[in-house]
Amino acid sequence: MEAWAESQGVTADSIVTLLGDPYGELTESLQMELTHFGPQEKGLINRSKRFAMYIDDGIIKIIRVAEKDDDPAGDAFPDITLAEAMIDAIKALPDDSKDEL
């Protein structure tokens, strides 16, 4: 995760936090396990769905999952989980539900 953060320019004082989940415990707790047979047939076992969350003071305010019937992994349609879409979603929250970006 450190190497990925470095390559993406994410520093210790960033508002972005990169988290690893090597045992899938967080993925399972969030019910974000990719259980569709398609990816599993290709050897992608215990993979997480493609998702993004906005958490404020321990409360999930926004969760976006990129999946469609014909693309359960969300690989072809990640748009709603990308930074720009999340920033727009955060800005659309009522003023009492967000911090200043």
Decide if 51 contacts 63 (C-beta within 8 A). Answer: yes
Please, which pLDDT band fits residue 42 given cuts at 50, 70 and 90? low
- Per-residue tokens: 15: 């508002």
User: How confident is the prediction for the chain on average, in pLDDT?
Assistant: 83
> pTM higher than 0.75, yes or no?
no
Taking the C-alpha atoms of residue 78 and residue 51, their distance in angstroms, rounded to an integer, is 8
Q: Give the per-residue pLDDT at 44.
A: 59
Tokens 């969300």 identify what position? Answer: 74
User: Is pLDDT above 90 for 7?
Assistant: yes
Q: How far apart are CA 77 and CA 97, in angstroms?
A: 27
Q: What is the mean pLDDT of residues 77-86?
A: 91
Residue 38 has pLDDT above 80, yes or no: no
